[in-house]
Every structure is written in structure tokens, then in C-alpha cells.
Structure 1
Amino acid sequence: MADIKSLLKKRSTYKCKLTIFTNYLNLLNTGSTISELQRLDLEERFSRFNVMYTEFDALQSEIEMLEEDPEDLLEEREDFERQYFSQVALARSLLGVSSKVKAVHLELVTDLTTEAYMAALNRFVARRGKPQSITSDNGTNFVGASNDLQRFLSSNNLASHIAQEGIEFIFTPPYTPHFNLLAEAAVKSCKHHLKRLLHLTHFTFEEMTTCLCKIEAVLNSRPLTSLSSDPNDFSALTPSHFLIGRPLLTVPHPHVADVTITRLDRWKRIQHVQQHFWRRFHNEYVSLLQTKTKWLASTGEVKPGQLVLIKEKTPPLLWSLGRVVNTYPGVDGITRVAELKTKRGTIRRAFNCICPLPLH
């Protein structure tokens, strides 16, 4: 019991450090910009803060191994991780460090005018915060919005710190969409499947907005890598962690029968499109992970303790994850089957039905 008490006391010091760093960031975030001295100080604190999570993860895993019922301690881990990743996102924004996690934000506009783009940009800033820079092609609506903002900041007698709050617009060369690769890849993931579904029905503006928000949630729910090395932790890092600090959830809905969409009422049509999009995107993402694992990023080995994505039918936003407990070689010495520990128990799956998540 003395060991548990000492470990719990040590864990409280990490929580105290997290609170101190949170208060420090909130103090820095009150101003419009940070000075060079503050930037250097933040970089030094942030480098130490990044190491703290690895230490907390090892400590929490040790506590969970000594406890008789480790399930009760998962809430402690989740609370710490939620606060930790939200502060990481804030620190990166203050330092101007971009995280290329391909999080998606979809906005519906009625036309391609500068006014419509400015309205969409204002909605984005109100919900996500002001971006430091925007990279886009040379569309007339994008160039027009940039010119309007620059004229406003230059023609008005504003204070210098307010004038610096403008957004930096970066335009790629004409006919080079590959220059904005991450954004184009995210748009492709949406349009590739969505265009094949929307020709089946016609949505109103409100219905289309709801449908896009549901598809945005699907794209931002995909697992990227494991959050910890704890064998009892089946959670994965997702793009939504960088947006809201936790995984995305959805309001439960009954399964919509796979029938002709025109036979469904208006609300069920939205559910039908989302569920159809989920199945297509889920299969595509699983195939992508299997391709990377087999050919590009690893030797194809599946090791005990590794977090894997299980290929099976699940409701939208629910990715089936498990930890490898053991592997079983065949008579030829080649391993093709793994035993997995999941939230619902232990199962066995062949390698073609599991996808190891990247370690980095």
C-alpha cells in the first residue's frame, strides 16, 4: 500500500505541473502577440512539458498494474490526456507551429463569390479561432477576400497590434493543386465518396449542412496512432484531439435499411448518406493502413502490446480497436493469426483483418 501512496503522490505532482503550465498559457494568451523573450521562455517550457506526458503515461500504467480494478483509473488518464492535448494545441498556436494532422472543417456556401467566401471565413474564425495563414489556389473569390482585408488594414488608422491581426494569404501557382497537398487530400476524401451519393437525392441547404457536419465528424474520427503504451488503454489519437481535445461521439441512431433513398423520409435520407459514406471511408482507410503496413512503413510484424484497428462492421465514428496479446505461427513458421484484447473481451483475428496503427 505504501508503494501505491508514493505513486499517487508522484502523480499529483504531474497534475500540478499541468495546472501551472495551463495558467502560464492562459496568461500569455491574453495579449495579441508574444514578445521574443516570451517566445524563448515558452519554447523552453514546452520542451519540458512534452517529456512530462511520457513520464505520466509510465507512472499511470504502473499504478493501474498494482490496482485490483484498473478500469476505475481510466477516467484519471482520460482527464489528464484531455487537458494535456488541449494545452499542446494552444502552445503550438502561440509558437506558430503547425500540426499536420489533416483535421477537416467543411463549410457550405451558396456561390463562389468573395462575399460568400468572407461569410464562410467568418464562421470558421468564430468556431475554430483565427488562423495565422491560409493557403489556397488563385480563385477570384480567395484573391478578392485577401485584397479586401489588406485594403481595410492599410486604409484605417488602427493600432499596430490590431493591424498585425490580419491573416497571411498564401496562393499556390496556377494549375498546381499538388502544392496544397494536405488540404487537397482531405477534400478528395470527402468529394470522392460524397459525389457518388448525392446524385441519389436532393437536399435543402439545412439538410446539406447537417450532412457535411456528419461527414466532417467521420473524417476527424479516424485513428492516427496509440495514445499510450498501457495494455488496458484502447484509445487512439485522432484529428479531433487537436480540435476539441477528445474523441468525437455521435448521437445514437438506428440503422437505416439499405433501400432506395427516395423511399425514406427527409431525416432518414441524411442518416442513409452518412452511414453509406462511413462504410466507404472506413473500408478505404483500412485498406490504406494495410498497404502502408505491408509495403511502406514496416516489416509486416505484429508485436504483443501493439494497438491495432480491427476490420469489422461498426456504427459511424466507432472504430474497433484492440491490443495484441499473442501471435500464433503456422506450421511453416510464418505468423498469420493474433490474439487481441478488446473492450468486449479477447478475440482472434487473422492478419488480413487487422491493421497496426503507425507508431509515429
Structure 2
Amino acid sequence: MLTDRFLQALQRFVGRRGVPSTIYTDNATTFHATHVELKEVWQVLTARKTHKYLAQQAITWKFIAPHAPWWGGFWERMVGSVKRCLRKVLGQSQLDEEGLNTILVSIEAALNSRPITQGREESEPLTPAHFLVGDRLTTLPTDPESPVRKDLSKEFQRLQKMVEHFWNRWKKEYLILLKNFHETHQPRPGSGRLQLGDVFLLQEDVGPRHVWRKARIEDLHEGRDGKIRTVTLRTS
């Protein structure tokens, strides 16, 4: 959690994927929490050296709206999927740095090989890998009957087995996530449109309901679909 370490990680990302135009992250108020680790991350993000690097690379850094963690759902969903499968696949296994990096890179290839379009008979479905490297990602053969595997070490075979286990689990979980994501929810009857001056209780996880603060809507902000997605609140 040092500025130099963070910039090195960002440089590795740029070297692999190219320079991004925009980077999104959790809202700024999250980093002002009482957790020491979050405060250290905030110091890194606001460091002069970080801003200088972002300016030189023409990178825009954007924070999601406060108290709206679902705004980061398009990356949290993938992060959560990786974490759950890693926890179940690795279990109590103790890996060295090389072994862990090998598994993570293989998982990265699996995630970026997921289909994002419906395949046709004359063409294969598009995957994120097509937009990253121009073609689908390939891996070493993992067939137990393959003669190549007879020459591999037991450690490499164990890592490949973990990756295969992860890929099978991820395929099942990702299909369930897609089903839940595409479900349509109709608004409840009687639920009106938000209006200026409405008063609400500001839900906070730090205390019970009876100590939540009251907030009044000061401004409304529409999304690209014309619906109210964020509001400006005034509290005590």
C-alpha cells in the first residue's frame, strides 16, 4: 500500500492491456472509514505522484456515488465469483508465490474466455479475450490421457487440476448469475417518483435503525435511461 507499489501495479496493467481512458473505483467516502488499510489506500490514490502519472497517461479516475455500492456491480460480480471459487478450490492448500500466480493467471484466462455473444454455426462466440488479444486464449493440454502430461511434474498436474475444477464451478455459477441478472422487476404499486424535499432515513451499517440520520433530497440526477439514479441529500 505504497504509492510506488501502486504505480508499479498500474504500469504492469498498462503493459498488458494498454492505457485505459477511465478507471472506476469505490466511492471516495469509503476510503475515509476507520479502517487503517482503507486510509492508506486513500493516501496512495491522492498522492501527488499518482496524480502526475495519471495526468501523463491521460487517465481519468472516477468514483462511484456514495452509499451506492451496486454502482460497482459490473466488477464486484466478477470479483465475487473469483473469490468464491478460489476459496472452494484451494481450500487449505498452501501454495508458494509461483503456484498462486499460475492459478490466478489461468483463472484470468478462463474468465476472459467466457462467451459474451451467442455463437453461430459459421462462427464462434465472442469473448473478452477477442477484445484483449484479438483471438481466444489457448492453454496447455489438460487431457489426462495426453502424452504431454506424462512428462509434467506432479506439482504442475495439481495446479492444472485446480484450474479445471475452478473452470467447471465458474461455468455453473456464472450461468446462474446471468439468469438472476436478466430477471425483470416491476415497480411496486404505489411507489411514486422521487421528488425534491422528500425526507428519508439514511441507512447506515454502523448503528441500529433508530439512530439512523434523517436526510432531505436537495437535487435529482437522471441516468441515461431518464430514470432517477442518484440524488443529492442534505443531513444535519
TM-score band by shorter chain is 0.5 to 0.7
Q: Which residue of structure 1 aligns with residue 215 of structure 2?
A: none
- The aligned residue for residue 149 of structure 2 is none
Moved more, 210-219 or 241-250: 241-250
Q: 2:63 aligns with which of 171, 187, 192?
A: 171
Query: Counterparts of 2:43 and 2:21 in 1: how far apart (Å)?
Result: 18
Query: For 1:170 and 1:273, how far apart are their aligned partners in 2?
Result: 36
8 Å CA contact 1:117–1:145 kept in 2: the answer is yes
1:250 deviates by: 1.2
Residue identity in the other structure for 1:271: Q
- Would the aligned equivalents of 2:85 and 2:166 in 1 still touch at CA under 8 Å? yes
> Percent of aligned pairs with the same residue?
34
Report if aligned partners of 2:115, 2:127 keep a CA contact under 8 Å in 1. Answer: yes
When residues 129 and 151 of structure 1 are mapped into structure 2, their CA distance, relative to the original with a 3 A threshold, is: closer
CA distance in 2, matches of 1:131, 1:179: 19
User: Which of the pair is proportionally richer in helix?
Assistant: 1
Render the CA deviation track for 1:220-250: whole Å, top value 9, x for unaligned: 11111136x6xx4140011111111111111
Contact 2:3 2:47 in 1 (8 A): no
Give the Cα–Cα distance (whole angstroms) in 2 for the partners of residues 146 and 166 of structure 1. 16
Q: Which has the larger radius of gyration?
A: 1
Q: Deviations over 1:272-317 (max 9, x none)?
A: 2101101101222344556678x66xxxxxxxxxxxxxxxxxxxxx
Counterparts in 2 of 1:142 and 1:176: CA distance versus 1, 3 Å = farther
Aligned partners of 1:194 and 1:151: how far apart in 2?
A: 31
Of 121, 124, 127 in structure 2, the residue corresponding to residue 235 of structure 1 is 124
Shift of 1:164: 5.2
Q: Of residues 138, 143, 146 in structure 2, which corresponds to 1:249?
A: 138
Corresponding residue for 1:224?
A: 116
Q: Trace 1:1-360 onto structure 2 (pairs within 5 A).
A: 112-137=1-26, 138=31, 139-149=38-48, 153=52, 163=55, 165-172=57-64, 176-226=68-118, 232-255=121-144, 265-288=154-177
Q: Contact 2:3–2:49 at 8 Å: present in 1 too?
A: no
Structure 1's 141 and 255: CA in aligned 2 closer, same or farther, altered over 3 A? farther
Corresponding residue SS for 1:236: coil
Q: Structure 1 CA distance, aligned partners of 2:178 and 2:76?
A: 19
CA distance in 1, matches of 2:12, 2:51: 19
- What is the CA-CA distance between 1:115 and the residue it aligns to? 3.7
Normalising by structure 1, we get a TM-score of: 0.41
Question: How many residues align structurally?
Answer: 167
8 Å CA contact 2:24, 2:63 repeated in 1:
yes
- TM-score, L = length of structure 2: 0.59
Which amino acid counterpart does residue 240 of structure 1 have in structure 2? A
Q: Matches of 2:40 and 2:114 in 1, distance apart?
A: 32
Deviation at 1:189, TM superposition (A): 1.4
Q: 1:215 touches 1:277 (CA, 8 Å); kept in 2?
A: yes
Q: Higher relative contact order at CA 8 Å, sep ≥6: structure 1 or structure 2?
A: 1
1:120 is displaced (CA, Å) by 1.4
Give 1:130 deviation, angstroms: 1.6
Q: Which runs of 5+ in 2 are unaligned?
A: 32-37, 146-152, 185-236
Tell me how far apart the structure 2 counterparts of residues 199 and 255 of structure 1 sit (CA, whole Å).
Answer: 23
Q: Indicate how the Cα distance of structure 1 residues 146 and 198 shifts in structure 2: closer, same or farther if over 3 A, else same.
A: same
Conserved? CA contact 1:114–1:141, under 8 Å:
no
Aligned partners of 2:84, 2:140: CA distance in 1, in Å? Answer: 25
Distance across 2 between alignment mates of 1:151 and 1:252: 41
User: Structure 1: where are the runs of 5+ without partners?
Assistant: 1-111, 155-161, 257-263, 297-360
Q: Secondary structure at the match of 1:233?
A: coil
Listed one character per residue, the Cα deviations across residues 7-39 of structure 1 (whole Å, up to 9, x for unaligned) are: xxxxxxxxxxxxxxxxxxxxxxxxxxxxxxxxx
Q: What amino acid is aligned across from residue 285 of structure 1 in structure 2?
A: Y
The code of the aligned residue for 1:131 comes to P
Name the CA distance, whole Å, in 2 between partners of 1:152 and 1:183. 23
Structure 2 CA distance for partners of 1:153 and 1:220, relative to 1, 3 Å? closer
